[in-house]
Structure 1
Amino acid sequence: MRIRNKPWAMDYLKENGHIVDTEMNYKNKVKQFFDTDQPLQIEIGTGMGTFITELAEKNPDINYLGIELDKNIIIRVVEKIIEMDLKNIRLVLLDANYISDYLGEGEVSKIYLNFSDPWPKTRHARRRLTYHTFLKQYHHLLNDEGSLQFKTDNRGLFEFSLKSMNEYGMKFDEIILDLHDEEPEDNIRTEYEEKFSKNGSRIYFLKASF
Protein backbone atom coordinates (compact mmCIF):
# COMPACT_ATOMS: atom_id res chain seq x y z
CA MET A 1 0.00 0.00 0.00
CA ARG A 2 1.58 3.28 -1.11
CA ILE A 3 0.86 6.25 1.12
CA ARG A 4 1.27 9.75 -0.26
CA ASN A 5 3.85 11.84 1.57
CA LYS A 6 2.31 14.53 3.75
CA PRO A 7 4.70 17.47 4.27
CA TRP A 8 2.71 18.52 7.35
CA ALA A 9 2.87 15.09 8.97
CA MET A 10 5.49 15.78 11.65
CA ASP A 11 3.85 19.05 12.66
CA TYR A 12 0.55 17.23 13.12
CA LEU A 13 2.15 14.43 15.13
CA LYS A 14 3.98 16.85 17.41
CA GLU A 15 0.72 18.72 18.02
CA ASN A 16 -0.61 15.40 19.30
CA GLY A 17 2.37 14.55 21.46
CA HIS A 18 0.04 13.29 24.19
CA ILE A 19 -0.78 10.38 21.83
CA VAL A 20 2.34 9.81 19.73
CA ASP A 21 5.99 9.98 20.75
CA THR A 22 8.06 11.27 17.85
CA GLU A 23 11.27 12.07 19.74
CA MET A 24 11.83 9.11 22.11
CA ASN A 25 10.57 11.19 25.03
CA TYR A 26 9.24 8.09 26.77
CA LYS A 27 12.21 5.84 26.17
CA ASN A 28 12.53 3.48 29.17
CA LYS A 29 9.60 5.21 30.89
CA VAL A 30 6.62 4.25 28.75
CA LYS A 31 4.38 3.81 31.83
CA GLN A 32 4.47 7.59 32.22
CA PHE A 33 3.00 7.90 28.72
CA PHE A 34 -0.31 6.38 29.86
CA ASP A 35 -2.94 7.78 32.20
CA THR A 36 -3.34 4.46 34.04
CA ASP A 37 -0.80 1.81 35.05
CA GLN A 38 -2.10 -1.37 33.36
CA PRO A 39 -0.65 -4.41 31.55
CA LEU A 40 1.04 -3.39 28.29
CA GLN A 41 0.61 -5.00 24.87
CA ILE A 42 2.25 -3.81 21.65
CA GLU A 43 1.57 -4.01 17.94
CA ILE A 44 4.60 -3.70 15.68
CA GLY A 45 3.46 -2.13 12.43
CA THR A 46 0.06 -0.55 13.01
CA GLY A 47 -1.21 -0.24 9.45
CA MET A 48 -4.13 2.18 9.47
CA GLY A 49 -4.93 1.34 13.07
CA THR A 50 -8.13 -0.71 12.73
CA PHE A 51 -6.73 -3.64 14.72
CA ILE A 52 -5.18 -1.80 17.65
CA THR A 53 -8.01 0.70 18.10
CA GLU A 54 -10.70 -2.00 18.12
CA LEU A 55 -8.58 -4.07 20.50
CA ALA A 56 -8.18 -1.12 22.85
CA GLU A 57 -11.88 -0.31 22.72
CA LYS A 58 -12.74 -3.89 23.71
CA ASN A 59 -10.12 -4.05 26.48
CA PRO A 60 -10.03 -0.77 28.44
CA ASP A 61 -8.10 -2.50 31.25
CA ILE A 62 -5.05 -3.03 29.01
CA ASN A 63 -2.67 -0.40 27.63
CA TYR A 64 -1.65 -0.66 23.97
CA LEU A 65 1.42 0.78 22.29
CA GLY A 66 1.51 0.93 18.50
CA ILE A 67 4.96 0.99 16.91
CA GLU A 68 5.15 2.40 13.39
CA LEU A 69 8.00 3.78 11.28
CA ASP A 70 6.00 5.67 8.63
CA LYS A 71 4.81 9.10 9.77
CA ASN A 72 2.24 9.24 6.96
CA ILE A 73 0.60 6.00 8.15
CA ILE A 74 0.66 6.78 11.85
CA ILE A 75 -1.37 9.93 11.22
CA ARG A 76 -4.37 7.73 10.37
CA VAL A 77 -4.02 5.91 13.68
CA VAL A 78 -3.87 9.16 15.63
CA GLU A 79 -7.06 10.30 13.89
CA LYS A 80 -8.85 7.06 14.86
CA ILE A 81 -7.73 7.35 18.48
CA ILE A 82 -9.06 10.91 18.69
CA GLU A 83 -12.32 10.03 16.95
CA MET A 84 -12.91 7.02 19.25
CA ASP A 85 -11.72 8.93 22.34
CA LEU A 86 -9.45 6.08 23.41
CA LYS A 87 -7.35 6.68 26.52
CA ASN A 88 -5.46 3.38 26.60
CA ILE A 89 -3.51 3.68 23.32
CA ARG A 90 -0.25 5.47 22.69
CA LEU A 91 1.96 5.41 19.61
CA VAL A 92 5.66 5.76 18.94
CA LEU A 93 7.33 6.64 15.66
CA LEU A 94 10.11 4.07 15.77
CA ASP A 95 12.09 1.59 13.71
CA ALA A 96 11.31 -1.90 15.05
CA ASN A 97 15.05 -2.65 15.17
CA TYR A 98 15.22 -0.45 18.27
CA ILE A 99 12.18 -1.57 20.29
CA SER A 100 14.30 -3.12 23.04
CA ASP A 101 16.01 0.26 23.47
CA TYR A 102 12.63 1.94 23.92
CA LEU A 103 10.97 -0.63 26.19
CA GLY A 104 12.28 -2.41 29.25
CA GLU A 105 12.88 -6.07 30.01
CA GLY A 106 9.70 -7.99 30.82
CA GLU A 107 7.55 -4.90 30.34
CA VAL A 108 5.20 -6.37 27.71
CA SER A 109 2.52 -9.04 28.09
CA LYS A 110 1.74 -9.59 24.39
CA ILE A 111 3.18 -8.71 20.99
CA TYR A 112 1.11 -8.57 17.79
CA LEU A 113 2.61 -8.91 14.31
CA ASN A 114 -0.10 -8.44 11.70
CA PHE A 115 0.65 -8.83 7.99
CA SER A 116 4.25 -7.71 8.28
CA ASP A 117 6.25 -7.02 5.13
CA PRO A 118 7.36 -10.48 3.89
CA TRP A 119 10.63 -9.21 2.38
CA PRO A 120 10.57 -12.14 -0.10
CA LYS A 121 14.15 -11.86 -1.38
CA THR A 122 16.59 -14.12 0.48
CA ARG A 123 19.11 -11.33 0.94
CA HIS A 124 16.47 -9.34 2.86
CA ALA A 125 15.63 -12.11 5.35
CA ARG A 126 17.10 -10.20 8.28
CA ARG A 127 14.47 -7.48 7.76
CA ARG A 128 11.61 -9.90 8.44
CA LEU A 129 10.04 -9.27 11.84
CA THR A 130 10.40 -12.94 12.74
CA TYR A 131 14.14 -13.09 12.01
CA HIS A 132 16.14 -14.30 15.02
CA THR A 133 17.45 -10.83 15.89
CA PHE A 134 13.87 -9.61 16.32
CA LEU A 135 12.91 -12.73 18.26
CA LYS A 136 15.75 -11.95 20.66
CA GLN A 137 14.26 -8.52 21.27
CA TYR A 138 10.76 -9.93 21.81
CA HIS A 139 12.21 -12.42 24.30
CA HIS A 140 13.72 -9.49 26.18
CA LEU A 141 10.48 -7.49 26.20
CA LEU A 142 7.93 -10.17 27.09
CA ASN A 143 7.23 -11.13 30.67
CA ASP A 144 7.24 -14.78 31.77
CA GLU A 145 3.59 -15.30 30.77
CA GLY A 146 3.90 -13.23 27.59
CA SER A 147 3.15 -14.38 24.06
CA LEU A 148 3.60 -13.45 20.42
CA GLN A 149 0.63 -13.48 18.00
CA PHE A 150 1.33 -13.49 14.27
CA LYS A 151 -0.94 -13.28 11.22
CA THR A 152 -0.04 -13.25 7.53
CA ASP A 153 -1.40 -14.15 4.12
CA ASN A 154 2.11 -14.94 2.86
CA ARG A 155 2.88 -18.65 2.98
CA GLY A 156 6.61 -18.11 2.51
CA LEU A 157 6.80 -15.75 5.46
CA PHE A 158 4.69 -18.11 7.57
CA GLU A 159 6.97 -21.07 6.84
CA PHE A 160 10.05 -18.93 7.49
CA SER A 161 8.56 -17.78 10.79
CA LEU A 162 7.77 -21.31 11.94
CA LYS A 163 11.34 -22.37 11.22
CA SER A 164 12.87 -19.26 12.77
CA MET A 165 10.83 -19.55 15.97
CA ASN A 166 11.48 -23.28 16.25
CA GLU A 167 15.23 -22.77 15.86
CA TYR A 168 15.11 -20.08 18.54
CA GLY A 169 13.45 -22.56 20.89
CA MET A 170 10.01 -21.00 21.06
CA LYS A 171 6.93 -22.97 22.04
CA PHE A 172 3.98 -23.00 19.63
CA ASP A 173 0.75 -22.58 21.58
CA GLU A 174 -1.47 -22.49 18.50
CA ILE A 175 -1.03 -22.85 14.74
CA ILE A 176 -3.90 -22.31 12.29
CA LEU A 177 -3.41 -22.76 8.55
CA ASP A 178 -6.63 -20.98 7.57
CA LEU A 179 -7.90 -18.62 10.24
CA HIS A 180 -11.06 -17.75 8.33
CA ASP A 181 -12.09 -21.36 7.77
CA GLU A 182 -13.74 -21.32 11.20
CA GLU A 183 -12.96 -17.79 12.26
CA PRO A 184 -12.82 -17.22 16.03
CA GLU A 185 -15.39 -14.74 17.33
CA ASP A 186 -12.69 -12.61 18.93
CA ASN A 187 -10.61 -12.24 15.75
CA ILE A 188 -10.14 -8.62 14.75
CA ARG A 189 -9.54 -8.22 11.03
CA THR A 190 -6.95 -5.71 9.89
CA GLU A 191 -7.35 -3.66 6.71
CA TYR A 192 -4.99 -6.01 4.87
CA GLU A 193 -6.77 -9.04 6.27
CA GLU A 194 -10.11 -7.89 4.87
CA LYS A 195 -8.55 -7.21 1.48
CA PHE A 196 -6.66 -10.49 1.23
CA SER A 197 -9.57 -12.55 2.50
CA LYS A 198 -11.94 -11.05 -0.08
CA ASN A 199 -9.41 -12.00 -2.75
CA GLY A 200 -9.50 -15.62 -1.57
CA SER A 201 -6.16 -15.67 0.22
CA ARG A 202 -5.61 -18.03 3.13
CA ILE A 203 -4.87 -16.33 6.45
CA TYR A 204 -2.15 -18.05 8.48
CA PHE A 205 -2.05 -17.62 12.26
CA LEU A 206 0.18 -18.64 15.11
CA LYS A 207 0.62 -17.92 18.77
CA ALA A 208 3.95 -18.68 20.40
CA SER A 209 5.84 -18.06 23.62
CA PHE A 210 9.38 -18.29 24.97
Structure 2
Amino acid sequence: MTTFALLMGHDKLRKFAENETFGCLLQPSAEELLRDGYLALRDHPVKGHWGERFADPGAPLVLELGCGKGEYTIDLAQREPSCNYVGVDIKGARLWKGAKYATEHALGNVGFLRTRIEFIPAFFAPGEVSEIWLTFSDPQVKSENSRLSSPVFLERYSRFLAPGGKIHLKTDSQFLYQYTLAVCRANGLPVLACSEDLYAEADRFAPCLTEVQTFYEKMFRDQGYPIRYLCFALRSTLLSPCTPKGRGAFPPTPPDIALQSDGGSSAQGLPKETSASLHPSHCASLVGPSRLCETTSKSFALRGGHGRPLFPEATPVSATPPSRKFVAPEDFDSDYWRSVEGHRTLFGRDTAETRRQKLKK
Protein backbone atom coordinates (compact mmCIF):
# COMPACT_ATOMS: atom_id res chain seq x y z
CA MET A 1 0.00 0.00 0.00
CA THR A 2 1.35 3.41 -0.96
CA THR A 3 1.89 6.29 1.44
CA PHE A 4 -0.88 8.21 -0.35
CA ALA A 5 -3.36 5.38 0.21
CA LEU A 6 -2.42 5.20 3.88
CA LEU A 7 -2.96 8.93 4.28
CA MET A 8 -6.33 8.73 2.52
CA GLY A 9 -7.42 5.91 4.80
CA HIS A 10 -6.34 7.83 7.88
CA ASP A 11 -8.24 10.91 6.70
CA LYS A 12 -11.43 8.87 6.27
CA LEU A 13 -11.10 7.41 9.74
CA ARG A 14 -10.67 10.92 11.15
CA LYS A 15 -13.83 12.08 9.36
CA PHE A 16 -15.81 9.04 10.52
CA ALA A 17 -14.79 9.75 14.11
CA GLU A 18 -15.74 13.42 13.81
CA ASN A 19 -19.09 12.49 12.25
CA GLU A 20 -20.06 10.93 15.58
CA THR A 21 -19.89 14.37 17.19
CA PHE A 22 -22.24 16.16 14.76
CA GLY A 23 -25.75 16.54 16.15
CA CYS A 24 -27.14 17.30 12.70
CA LEU A 25 -25.96 13.94 11.26
CA LEU A 26 -27.99 10.78 11.87
CA GLN A 27 -26.10 7.52 11.23
CA PRO A 28 -28.30 4.50 12.01
CA SER A 29 -26.69 1.08 12.19
CA ALA A 30 -27.88 -1.90 10.19
CA GLU A 31 -29.12 -3.51 13.42
CA GLU A 32 -31.47 -0.55 13.97
CA LEU A 33 -33.12 -1.03 10.57
CA LEU A 34 -33.08 -4.69 9.60
CA ARG A 35 -35.19 -7.40 11.19
CA ASP A 36 -35.97 -11.01 10.29
CA GLY A 37 -33.09 -11.04 7.84
CA TYR A 38 -32.02 -8.57 5.22
CA LEU A 39 -35.36 -8.04 3.44
CA ALA A 40 -37.45 -6.71 6.35
CA LEU A 41 -37.13 -3.07 7.45
CA ARG A 42 -37.86 -1.73 10.92
CA ASP A 43 -39.06 1.86 11.29
CA HIS A 44 -36.45 4.15 12.82
CA PRO A 45 -37.50 6.15 15.94
CA VAL A 46 -36.99 9.42 14.04
CA LYS A 47 -39.83 8.53 11.66
CA GLY A 48 -42.58 11.11 12.10
CA HIS A 49 -40.42 13.20 14.46
CA TRP A 50 -38.01 15.02 12.15
CA GLY A 51 -39.39 18.39 13.19
CA GLU A 52 -37.95 17.89 16.68
CA ARG A 53 -34.44 18.00 15.22
CA PHE A 54 -34.82 21.52 13.82
CA ALA A 55 -35.18 25.04 15.17
CA ASP A 56 -38.63 25.37 13.55
CA PRO A 57 -40.41 22.02 14.01
CA GLY A 58 -43.39 23.03 11.89
CA ALA A 59 -41.47 24.06 8.76
CA PRO A 60 -41.89 22.01 5.56
CA LEU A 61 -39.31 19.25 5.16
CA VAL A 62 -37.30 18.98 1.92
CA LEU A 63 -35.02 16.05 1.02
CA GLU A 64 -32.00 15.87 -1.26
CA LEU A 65 -31.31 12.25 -2.15
CA GLY A 66 -27.73 11.40 -3.03
CA CYS A 67 -26.53 14.71 -1.61
CA GLY A 68 -22.79 13.89 -1.66
CA LYS A 69 -20.93 16.56 0.32
CA GLY A 70 -24.16 18.42 1.01
CA GLU A 71 -23.33 21.68 -0.76
CA TYR A 72 -26.73 21.81 -2.50
CA THR A 73 -28.61 21.08 0.73
CA ILE A 74 -26.63 23.76 2.57
CA ASP A 75 -27.15 26.38 -0.13
CA LEU A 76 -30.90 25.78 -0.36
CA ALA A 77 -31.21 25.92 3.43
CA GLN A 78 -29.40 29.25 3.64
CA ARG A 79 -31.56 30.73 0.88
CA GLU A 80 -34.84 29.43 2.30
CA PRO A 81 -34.70 29.48 6.13
CA SER A 82 -38.46 28.85 6.35
CA CYS A 83 -37.90 25.21 5.30
CA ASN A 84 -36.03 22.35 6.92
CA TYR A 85 -33.62 20.38 4.71
CA VAL A 86 -32.22 16.86 5.00
CA GLY A 87 -29.44 15.59 2.76
CA VAL A 88 -29.27 11.80 2.34
CA ASP A 89 -26.22 9.83 1.25
CA ILE A 90 -24.47 6.57 2.13
CA LYS A 91 -20.92 7.95 2.02
CA GLY A 92 -19.89 9.15 5.47
CA ALA A 93 -16.67 10.80 4.27
CA ARG A 94 -18.71 12.96 1.90
CA LEU A 95 -21.38 13.86 4.44
CA TRP A 96 -18.65 15.00 6.82
CA LYS A 97 -18.13 18.21 4.86
CA GLY A 98 -21.78 19.29 4.91
CA ALA A 99 -22.33 18.24 8.52
CA LYS A 100 -19.21 20.09 9.66
CA TYR A 101 -20.27 23.27 7.83
CA ALA A 102 -23.80 23.11 9.26
CA THR A 103 -22.42 22.61 12.77
CA GLU A 104 -19.82 25.38 12.57
CA HIS A 105 -22.36 27.86 11.16
CA ALA A 106 -25.16 26.78 13.55
CA LEU A 107 -27.66 26.15 10.75
CA GLY A 108 -30.87 25.23 12.54
CA ASN A 109 -32.70 24.05 9.43
CA VAL A 110 -30.16 21.52 8.10
CA GLY A 111 -29.81 17.83 8.83
CA PHE A 112 -28.08 14.87 7.21
CA LEU A 113 -28.92 11.18 7.12
CA ARG A 114 -26.43 8.47 6.31
CA THR A 115 -28.27 5.49 4.83
CA ARG A 116 -29.06 3.70 1.60
CA ILE A 117 -31.85 5.40 -0.34
CA GLU A 118 -33.56 2.01 -0.63
CA PHE A 119 -34.17 2.24 3.13
CA ILE A 120 -35.68 5.73 3.02
CA PRO A 121 -39.31 4.72 3.87
CA ALA A 122 -38.09 3.59 7.29
CA PHE A 123 -37.22 7.18 8.24
CA PHE A 124 -40.17 9.32 7.10
CA ALA A 125 -43.86 9.11 8.00
CA PRO A 126 -46.73 9.61 5.52
CA GLY A 127 -47.01 13.28 4.59
CA GLU A 128 -43.83 14.24 6.45
CA VAL A 129 -41.87 15.38 3.36
CA SER A 130 -42.89 18.32 1.16
CA GLU A 131 -40.36 18.08 -1.68
CA ILE A 132 -37.60 15.83 -2.98
CA TRP A 133 -34.52 16.83 -4.96
CA LEU A 134 -32.67 14.33 -7.16
CA THR A 135 -29.46 16.12 -8.09
CA PHE A 136 -27.19 14.48 -10.64
CA SER A 137 -28.08 10.93 -9.74
CA ASP A 138 -26.34 8.04 -11.47
CA PRO A 139 -28.50 7.35 -14.58
CA GLN A 140 -28.01 3.59 -14.13
CA VAL A 141 -28.38 2.86 -17.86
CA LYS A 142 -28.22 -0.91 -17.33
CA SER A 143 -30.46 -1.19 -14.26
CA GLU A 144 -33.89 0.43 -14.39
CA ASN A 145 -34.82 -0.42 -10.80
CA SER A 146 -31.70 1.38 -9.56
CA ARG A 147 -32.68 4.73 -11.10
CA LEU A 148 -33.93 7.15 -8.46
CA SER A 149 -36.85 8.18 -10.71
CA SER A 150 -37.92 4.61 -11.55
CA PRO A 151 -41.35 3.25 -10.55
CA VAL A 152 -39.68 1.26 -7.76
CA PHE A 153 -38.37 4.43 -6.12
CA LEU A 154 -41.49 6.50 -6.87
CA GLU A 155 -43.51 3.97 -4.91
CA ARG A 156 -41.13 4.45 -1.97
CA TYR A 157 -41.42 8.23 -2.17
CA SER A 158 -45.21 8.05 -2.34
CA ARG A 159 -45.27 6.55 1.15
CA PHE A 160 -44.06 9.77 2.77
CA LEU A 161 -44.44 12.61 0.24
CA ALA A 162 -47.22 15.00 1.26
CA PRO A 163 -50.20 15.65 -1.01
CA GLY A 164 -49.10 18.27 -3.51
CA GLY A 165 -45.46 17.35 -2.90
CA LYS A 166 -43.03 17.71 -5.78
CA ILE A 167 -39.96 15.95 -7.09
CA HIS A 168 -37.19 17.99 -8.73
CA LEU A 169 -34.68 16.35 -11.07
CA LYS A 170 -31.48 18.06 -12.19
CA THR A 171 -29.19 16.06 -14.44
CA ASP A 172 -26.66 16.23 -17.23
CA SER A 173 -27.95 12.88 -18.54
CA GLN A 174 -30.27 13.03 -21.53
CA PHE A 175 -31.04 9.38 -20.87
CA LEU A 176 -32.27 9.95 -17.30
CA TYR A 177 -34.20 13.08 -18.29
CA GLN A 178 -36.03 11.33 -21.15
CA TYR A 179 -36.62 8.24 -19.03
CA THR A 180 -38.17 10.27 -16.21
CA LEU A 181 -40.46 12.07 -18.65
CA ALA A 182 -41.52 8.66 -20.00
CA VAL A 183 -42.28 7.48 -16.46
CA CYS A 184 -44.44 10.59 -15.93
CA ARG A 185 -46.33 9.86 -19.17
CA ALA A 186 -46.86 6.21 -18.31
CA ASN A 187 -48.27 7.04 -14.87
CA GLY A 188 -50.18 10.22 -15.67
CA LEU A 189 -47.99 12.33 -13.40
CA PRO A 190 -48.22 16.11 -13.89
CA VAL A 191 -45.03 17.71 -15.20
CA LEU A 192 -44.88 21.15 -13.61
CA ALA A 193 -41.71 22.45 -15.25
CA CYS A 194 -39.12 21.08 -17.66
CA SER A 195 -36.12 22.26 -19.64
CA GLU A 196 -33.65 20.52 -21.95
CA ASP A 197 -31.10 23.27 -21.24
CA LEU A 198 -31.74 25.01 -17.94
CA TYR A 199 -29.00 27.63 -18.27
CA ALA A 200 -29.98 28.58 -21.82
CA GLU A 201 -33.52 29.22 -20.51
CA ALA A 202 -32.50 30.69 -17.16
CA ASP A 203 -34.76 33.71 -17.55
CA ARG A 204 -37.81 31.38 -17.36
CA PHE A 205 -36.91 30.11 -13.91
CA ALA A 206 -36.24 31.40 -10.42
CA PRO A 207 -32.58 32.36 -9.90
CA CYS A 208 -31.93 29.63 -7.33
CA LEU A 209 -32.19 26.92 -9.99
CA THR A 210 -29.05 28.20 -11.67
CA GLU A 211 -27.30 29.92 -8.78
CA VAL A 212 -27.33 26.82 -6.55
CA GLN A 213 -25.00 24.22 -8.08
CA THR A 214 -23.58 20.89 -7.00
CA PHE A 215 -19.96 19.89 -7.49
CA TYR A 216 -20.92 17.71 -10.47
CA GLU A 217 -23.15 20.41 -11.94
CA LYS A 218 -20.22 22.82 -12.07
CA MET A 219 -17.99 20.13 -13.53
CA PHE A 220 -20.45 19.15 -16.28
CA ARG A 221 -21.11 22.78 -17.16
CA ASP A 222 -17.38 23.40 -17.52
CA GLN A 223 -17.26 20.44 -19.90
CA GLY A 224 -20.04 21.95 -22.01
CA TYR A 225 -22.87 19.57 -21.11
CA PRO A 226 -26.38 21.10 -20.97
CA ILE A 227 -28.10 20.79 -17.59
CA ARG A 228 -31.64 19.42 -17.72
CA TYR A 229 -34.36 20.14 -15.18
CA LEU A 230 -37.69 18.48 -14.51
CA CYS A 231 -40.28 19.04 -11.79
CA PHE A 232 -43.27 16.74 -11.35
CA ALA A 233 -45.75 15.68 -8.67
CA LEU A 234 -46.91 12.29 -7.42
CA ARG A 235 -50.19 13.17 -5.73
CA SER A 236 -53.12 15.56 -6.06
CA THR A 237 -54.66 17.81 -3.46
CA LEU A 238 -57.46 20.40 -3.30
CA LEU A 239 -57.39 22.92 -6.12
CA SER A 240 -58.86 26.38 -5.86
CA PRO A 241 -59.07 28.81 -8.79
CA CYS A 242 -56.13 31.18 -8.63
CA THR A 243 -54.99 34.22 -10.53
CA PRO A 244 -51.25 34.52 -11.11
CA LYS A 245 -49.94 37.90 -10.00
CA GLY A 246 -46.55 37.80 -11.60
CA ARG A 247 -43.38 36.01 -10.69
CA GLY A 248 -43.63 33.84 -7.60
CA ALA A 249 -47.44 33.85 -7.48
CA PHE A 250 -47.88 30.12 -8.09
CA PRO A 251 -45.76 26.96 -8.21
CA PRO A 252 -43.91 26.22 -11.46
CA THR A 253 -45.76 24.99 -14.50
CA PRO A 254 -44.36 24.81 -18.02
CA PRO A 255 -45.68 27.67 -20.16
CA ASP A 256 -45.91 25.45 -23.24
CA ILE A 257 -48.32 22.91 -21.72
CA ALA A 258 -51.95 23.99 -22.17
CA LEU A 259 -55.16 22.20 -21.20
CA GLN A 260 -57.55 21.22 -23.97
CA SER A 261 -61.29 21.61 -23.67
CA ASP A 262 -61.82 17.84 -23.79
CA GLY A 263 -59.76 17.31 -20.64
CA GLY A 264 -56.66 16.14 -22.47
CA SER A 265 -53.46 18.06 -22.93
CA SER A 266 -51.22 19.42 -25.60
CA ALA A 267 -47.60 20.37 -25.31
CA GLN A 268 -46.80 22.95 -27.90
CA GLY A 269 -43.22 23.37 -28.88
CA LEU A 270 -42.10 20.10 -27.29
CA PRO A 271 -41.28 16.97 -29.28
CA LYS A 272 -43.77 14.13 -28.88
CA GLU A 273 -41.43 12.01 -26.83
CA THR A 274 -40.88 14.75 -24.25
CA SER A 275 -44.39 16.17 -23.88
CA ALA A 276 -46.17 15.05 -20.71
CA SER A 277 -49.76 14.07 -20.18
CA LEU A 278 -51.56 16.68 -18.07
CA HIS A 279 -55.13 15.95 -16.99
CA PRO A 280 -57.20 18.55 -15.10
CA SER A 281 -57.41 16.30 -12.04
CA HIS A 282 -53.62 16.03 -11.97
CA CYS A 283 -53.27 19.79 -12.01
CA ALA A 284 -54.60 19.87 -8.47
CA SER A 285 -51.07 19.32 -7.27
CA LEU A 286 -50.17 22.79 -8.50
CA VAL A 287 -51.87 24.20 -5.41
CA GLY A 288 -50.95 22.37 -2.23
CA PRO A 289 -51.19 23.27 1.45
CA SER A 290 -50.80 27.01 1.85
CA ARG A 291 -47.38 26.89 3.47
CA LEU A 292 -46.00 24.49 0.88
CA CYS A 293 -47.43 26.69 -1.86
CA GLU A 294 -45.82 29.81 -0.44
CA THR A 295 -42.44 28.13 0.02
CA THR A 296 -42.45 26.57 -3.43
CA SER A 297 -43.51 29.74 -5.18
CA LYS A 298 -40.86 31.82 -3.40
CA SER A 299 -38.10 29.37 -4.18
CA PHE A 300 -38.79 27.71 -7.47
CA ALA A 301 -41.60 29.48 -9.34
CA LEU A 302 -41.33 30.34 -13.00
CA ARG A 303 -41.54 33.93 -14.10
CA GLY A 304 -44.98 34.32 -15.55
CA GLY A 305 -48.57 35.30 -15.08
CA HIS A 306 -50.45 38.04 -16.85
CA GLY A 307 -53.46 38.44 -14.58
CA ARG A 308 -55.34 35.54 -16.19
CA PRO A 309 -56.88 32.60 -14.28
CA LEU A 310 -54.69 29.51 -14.31
CA PHE A 311 -57.51 26.95 -14.11
CA PRO A 312 -60.79 28.91 -13.95
CA GLU A 313 -63.09 25.86 -13.87
CA ALA A 314 -61.06 23.66 -11.55
CA THR A 315 -62.84 21.16 -9.34
CA PRO A 316 -61.65 19.72 -6.01
CA VAL A 317 -60.30 16.19 -5.88
CA SER A 318 -59.40 13.93 -2.99
CA ALA A 319 -56.72 15.34 -0.71
CA THR A 320 -55.70 11.83 0.39
CA PRO A 321 -55.74 9.60 -2.70
CA PRO A 322 -55.21 5.88 -2.18
CA SER A 323 -51.68 4.53 -2.43
CA ARG A 324 -50.80 3.39 -5.91
CA LYS A 325 -48.32 1.34 -7.84
CA PHE A 326 -46.23 2.93 -10.56
CA VAL A 327 -45.57 1.24 -13.88
CA ALA A 328 -42.54 1.29 -16.13
CA PRO A 329 -42.88 3.20 -19.42
CA GLU A 330 -43.56 1.01 -22.45
CA ASP A 331 -42.64 3.70 -24.98
CA PHE A 332 -39.09 4.18 -23.69
CA ASP A 333 -36.50 2.43 -25.86
CA SER A 334 -33.91 1.23 -23.36
CA ASP A 335 -32.24 -0.92 -26.01
CA TYR A 336 -31.46 2.20 -28.05
CA TRP A 337 -29.67 3.87 -25.14
CA ARG A 338 -27.60 0.74 -24.57
CA SER A 339 -26.57 0.59 -28.23
CA VAL A 340 -23.48 2.10 -29.83
CA GLU A 341 -25.59 4.90 -31.31
CA GLY A 342 -27.29 5.55 -27.98
CA HIS A 343 -23.97 5.83 -26.16
CA ARG A 344 -22.70 8.24 -28.77
CA THR A 345 -25.85 10.32 -28.27
CA LEU A 346 -25.31 10.33 -24.52
CA PHE A 347 -21.60 11.00 -24.44
CA GLY A 348 -20.80 12.45 -27.88
CA ARG A 349 -18.08 9.87 -28.35
CA ASP A 350 -17.28 6.16 -28.15
CA THR A 351 -17.16 4.76 -24.63
CA ALA A 352 -15.83 1.56 -23.10
CA GLU A 353 -19.31 0.09 -23.56
CA THR A 354 -19.50 0.92 -27.27
CA ARG A 355 -16.03 -0.49 -27.81
CA ARG A 356 -17.09 -3.75 -26.12
CA GLN A 357 -20.16 -3.98 -28.35
CA LYS A 358 -18.04 -3.45 -31.45
CA LEU A 359 -15.75 -6.30 -30.42
CA LYS A 360 -18.73 -8.66 -30.07
CA LYS A 361 -19.78 -8.07 -33.68
When the two structures are superposed, what TM-score results if normalisation uses the length of structure 2? 0.54
Alignment correspondent of 2:221? 197
Name the amino acid aligned to 1:186.
C
Alignment correspondent of 2:100? 79
Counterpart selection for 1:167 from 170, 178, 186? 186
User: CA contact under 8 A between 1:28 and 1:101: conserved in structure 2?
Assistant: no
Give unmatched runs, 5+ long, in structure 1. Answer: none
Counterpart selection for 1:8 from 3, 9, 14? 14
1:24-70 deviation digits (Å, cap 9, x = unpaired): 55234222222321111111011222211111011111111111111
Counterpart selection for 1:19 from 9, 18, 24? 24
When the two structures are superposed, what TM-score results if normalisation uses the length of structure 1? 0.91
1:4-26 deviation digits (Å, cap 9, x = unpaired): 5512333211111x110112552
Aligned positions, number: 204
Bigger RCO of structures 1 and 2 (CA < 8 A, at least 6 apart)? 1
1:71-96 deviation digits (Å, cap 9, x = unpaired): 11111111221343311001111111
Distance apart, 1:151 and its partner CA: 0.5
Cα separation, 2, equivalents of 1:79 and 1:127: 30
Structure 1 runs, 4 residues or longer, greater than 6 Å off = none
Cα separation, 1, equivalents of 2:104 and 2:180: 35
User: CA contact under 8 A between 1:26 and 1:33: conserved in structure 2?
Assistant: no
Please provide the CA RMSD for this pair. Answer: 1.6
Identity of aligned residues (%): 26
Alignment correspondent of 2:299? none
SS at match of 1:8: helix
Cα separation, 1, equivalents of 2:156 and 2:188: 14
Counterpart selection for 1:29 from 49, 59, 63? 49
User: CA contact under 8 A between 1:132 and 1:165: conserved in structure 2?
Assistant: no
Counterpart selection for 1:117 from 138, 154, 159? 138
User: CA contact under 8 A between 2:68 and 2:91: conserved in structure 1?
Assistant: no
Alignment correspondent of 2:332? none
Alignment correspondent of 1:129? 148
SS at match of 2:47: coil
SS at match of 1:15: coil
The answer to whether 1:61 aligns with 2:85 is no
Name the amino acid aligned to 2:111.
R
1:148-172 deviation digits (Å, cap 9, x = unpaired): 1100001111111111232233110
1:97-144 deviation digits (Å, cap 9, x = unpaired): 1111110111111100000011122xx221110111111122222111
Counterpart selection for 1:149 from 165, 168, 180? 168
Give unmatched runs, 5+ long, in structure 2. Answer: 1-7, 29-43, 235-361
User: CA contact under 8 A between 2:48 and 2:128: conserved in structure 1?
Assistant: no
Larger radius of gyration: 2
SS at match of 2:180: helix
Q: Higher strand proportion, which one?
A: 1
User: CA contact under 8 A between 1:131 and 1:164: conserved in structure 2?
Assistant: yes
User: CA contact under 8 A between 2:16 and 2:96: conserved in structure 1?
Assistant: no
